[in-house]
Amino acid sequence: MDFALLSRVQHFPVRHHSPRTTAVLQRWLEKVKPDVVLVEGPCDATGMVDVLCDAQTRPPVAILGYRTDGTPASSLWPFAAYSPEYQALRWARANGARVEFIDIPVGVSLAVDRDAPGLGLETEATAEDAPVADDAVPLTDAFARSQGYRSFEEFWEAAFEAPDWSPELFRPVLLAWAEVINAGPRQGYHRQRDAFMARKVLEVVAGGVAPEKVAVVAGAAHIAAFVAGDVEPALEAKLPPGVPCAVTVIPFSFPRLAEQLGYGAGNRAPHFYQKAHEAHCDFRRATLEVLLDFASHLRMRGFSASLSDVLEAYRLAVMLSDLREKSAPGLDELREATVATLCRGDATHVDGFLWKSVVGHQVGQVASRIGQNSLQAEFWREVGERRLPRTDSAETFALRLNNEVEVGSSVFLHRLRVAGIPYATLSGTGSRAQAATEAGGYAALTRVRESWQAQWTPSTDVALVEKIVLGDSLEGVTTRVLQERLTLAKTTAEAADVLLESVITGCPQTVASALQACDAHAATDADLPSLASAARALSGLMAYGTSRAHSAVGDEAVASLGEKTFGRALLRVREASACAPEAVAKVLEALRTLHEVALSQPRADKAGWLAEARALMESHGVHPATAGLATGLLYLARELPESDVALEVGRRLSLAVEPADAAAYLEGFLQVNALVLVKSREVVKALDTFLCGVEPERFRQTLPVLRRALGTLGATERRYLMENVMGVRQLKDKGRAVKAVLEEKDKETLKDMSAELGKALDDLDDLL
């Protein structure tokens, strides 16, 4: 191919998502009137041009390319109404010109190994791969600062967006800027794209179209390379083979177009630029409209913001732009004028809620002709019928699970969660990873009310498209995911977790499979924590039923398995309790779980559990912490009188016992309900005798365990403990001393109160 022909083709350099570039491009196209318009974008998405230009399509929208070989991967090419590429497509369709995308195919783009920020977005901006200055500041920012601007975006607004450029002047200036950027090192990937797009352009010319009748609309860096002839055809061969993929169009949103969310080719305020686009790039009018919106938002929140305040803010914004020798106010002048006038010098409101309206929250719409896959259709139908949030801004709502409609909404949201479709998270559960755990399982089974925070994002539709390989309905996808988890389950607890999730998400097919898996694992499972966790899950299902899943298995099958699993767990109690120190924490939690199930579930073997707990209490062959825990649990269950508890504690804390074992016993004992235990005068007496009798050297060795055991005591527990210590030691003027101790805050003052009281505090000071 004759690459010299590239210089004869009509080129127009653009900055993605630039209203001024779009306005100039439209005038240039009217003047050039090309027969063919070639636009930067994946070439295998040319079939989507009709959908993008359909009257029903309302930007922001995005081309979505995704893998179809089972590997989850996708990429997005978004368009706003003011994106020059989008308007080039519309001009071509309106004027009968042939139009095509010419960039590398989606499959090749997905196969390229590159770290793109954001959600797999196409992130190339005008200043792609800008060189870095010596002080690690990108060349674009360094240049902007050298010209007196605070950022490159401010420089771009002042130099390119605000002035009323003609095509004859705009094109060479933008090309000159791109040539400066291209003078530095560019990633090989972008030079490979240059070669690919150049070949696509020349193929059109070779097909019989005069070069002068071909218009190429692409990023300024690419156009600069074409014009300069800086294209190496051999580089195209270095692109990897494409992976299997498909292409569609999905809605997008203004927040996703914002650079604040990590989109490399985004801008600071999509809604503001939309207003500028609608005003034919009259940035003064756009500024006034935004200030009116700001005033409305302030009044809605009870602040005073009159029309005269708006006009004063507008005059200040214009004056600031004039002082800075700008053609019109930009976002910086808009912000400063808002803070100074509407917000009376306080920027809190701008940062808190006003600036969100500059970014915008608009969600686009795709023409019905594109169709939706069954998952997308089901999602939007459910969202509409259940009146759930459908905007790209977080909204919080509550579900009361006492009626069929709201239970159905809960099932829908839990299916999305399990399927990995980002839309809603349970509110108030901390981090995302923690929320994913706490949103389901036993906690979800016992809740009567759920608070959710939902937000549609383009990632929602991306996931709905990608998950179609797992099933054609949300129930089918969730069932497939749970079946895969069940296949990987190695313990009874893991199988029981799948059982709970199956009930919560209303997947009866996996309920039956998970029950069978629980039974099979429990028969050979020697891990007490696993069996206890499964017993707890089954006990929950026995108490709350499996109605969400509409399972044909029936609750009786769950109850039968629950009884059997609990019995199997009891058989593992003594062996598991003779554990190493590093394993005791999980064993203690398992023992507490079994105790809760035994006391709350009528069909559990309560007598069997109490017998095992008493055996642990009396045994010296188990870890002392498990014996201490068993003692405390029996006491709280009123299976031991206080005198027996005091006797047992005294025996375990006697001088004949190793201090480390005694401290471990105490740690397990106090885990149950420290308040009840420290209120017992006899128990505290045994504790006091133990602490006073430990030799100093052994006391220091035992101190870490004692700290851990007593460090969990709260203010109330410490109060009772102190009162009983002083009662045991028969301190004089106890009432006055106790009051002084409780009211005094300074540790040194406490120690100086009296010799007898000081002795008690010395014993407990390091522990508490």
> Does some domain include residue 197?
yes
Could you tell me which of 115, 97, 122, 144 has the C-alpha nearest to residue 40? 122
Could you tell me which of 604, 584, 603 has the C-alpha nearest to residue 595? 604
Q: Domain boundary residue among 470, 490, 519?
A: 470
Does one domain contain both 342 and 384? no
Could you tell me which of 287, 343, 293 has the C-alpha nearest to residue 315? 287
Is it the case that residue 498 has pLDDT exceeding 90? yes
Contacts of range 672-677, beta carbons closer than 8 Å, 24 or more positions apart = 672/592, 672/629, 672/632, 672/633, 672/635, 672/636, 673/632, 673/636, 674/712, 674/713, 674/714, 674/717, 675/716, 675/717, 675/720, 676/635, 676/636, 677/632, 677/635
> Does some domain include residue 436?
yes
Contact predicate 36/214, CB 8 Å: yes
> Does some domain include residue 321?
yes
Does one domain contain both 320 and 450? no
The backbone torsions φ and ψ at residue 684, rounded to the nearest 5 degrees and listed phi first, read -65, -35
**Digit-coded pLDDT (tens) for 426-463:** 985 444 444 444 788 888 888 888 999 999 988 898 88
**How many CB atoms lie under 10 A from the CB of residue 484?**
12
> Does some domain include residue 748?
no
Could you tell me which of 519, 457, 459, 472 has the C-alpha nearest to residue 492? 519
Mean pLDDT, to the nearest integer, of 212-218? 95
User: Among 17-31, 93-107, 512-526, which is the least confidently predicted range?
Assistant: 512-526
Two structure tokens written together for 557: 């099958």
Range of the domain at 459: 372-470
- Give pLDDT, residue 768: 47
Q: Which residue has the higher pLDDT, 110 or 187?
A: 110
How many domains is the chain partitioned into structurally?
A: 3
Find all residues with CB under 8 Å of 253, minimum gap 6, and list them: 60, 361, 362, 363, 364, 392, 456, 457, 458
Angle at 698 between CA 696 and CA 704, to 5 degrees: 105
Residue 69 has what DSSP assignment?
A: S
- Give pLDDT, residue 94: 95
- Give pLDDT, residue 213: 95
Q: Which H or E run contains 63?
A: strand 61-67
Q: Which H or E run contains 540?
A: helix 528-544
> Does some domain include residue 649?
no
**How many CB atoms lie under 10 A from the CB of residue 432?**
9
User: Among 318-322, 440-444, 496-500, 513-517, which is the least confidently predicted range?
Assistant: 440-444
Does one domain contain both 344 and 393? no
Distance, in Å, from the CA atom of 578 to the CA atom of 207, rounded to the nearest integer, reads 83
Share of the chain above pLDDT 70, in %: 83
Q: Domain boundary residue among 327, 359, 391?
A: 359
Does one domain contain both 200 and 115? yes
Does one domain contain both 355 and 413? no
Q: Domain boundary residue among 211, 241, 261?
A: 261
Does one domain contain both 386 and 293? no
- Which residues sit opposite 401 in a β-bridge? none
Does one domain contain both 274 and 255? no
**How many CB atoms lie under 10 A from the CB of residue 4?**
9
- Which residues sit opposite 395 in a β-bridge? 454
Q: Which residue has the higher pLDDT, 259 or 424?
A: 424
User: Among 126-140, 146-160, 224-238, 508-522, which is the least confidently predicted range?
Assistant: 126-140
3-class DSSP state of 473: coil
Q: Which H or E run contains 10?
A: strand 10-14
Does one domain contain both 342 and 293? yes
Mean pLDDT, to the nearest integer, of 391-399? 89
- Give pLDDT, residue 119: 31
The backbone torsions φ and ψ at residue 544, rounded to the nearest 5 degrees and listed phi first, read -105, -10
Does one domain contain both 188 and 251? yes
- Give pLDDT, residue 702: 66
> Does some domain include residue 510?
no
Could you tell me which of 450, 445, 453 has the C-alpha nearest to residue 388? 453
- Give pLDDT, residue 577: 94
Mean pLDDT, to the nearest integer, of 252-277? 80
- Give pLDDT, residue 41: 95
> Does some domain include residue 16?
yes
Does one domain contain both 102 and 179? yes
- Give pLDDT, residue 640: 86
Does one domain contain both 203 and 315? no
Distance, in Å, from the CA atom of 565 to the CA atom of 539, rounded to the nearest integer, reads 10
**Digit-coded pLDDT (tens) for 113-149:** 655 433 333 333 344 444 444 455 577 788 888 888 8
- Give pLDDT, residue 368: 82
Two structure tokens written together for 558: 């769950």
Does one domain contain both 48 and 188? yes
- Give pLDDT, residue 69: 84
**How many CB atoms lie under 10 A from the CB of residue 114?**
8
Find all residues with CB under 8 Å of 442, minimum gap 6, and list them: 500, 536, 537, 540
Find all residues with CB under 8 Å of 505, minimum gap 6, and list them: 411, 414, 415, 418, 475, 478, 482, 548, 549
- Give pLDDT, residue 114: 56
> What's at 24, amino acid-wise?
V
> Does some domain include residue 50?
yes
Is it the case that residue 480 has pLDDT exceeding 90? yes
Mean pLDDT, to the nearest integer, of 171-189? 80
Contact predicate 276/286, CB 8 Å: yes
Mean pLDDT, to the nearest integer, of 649-677? 76
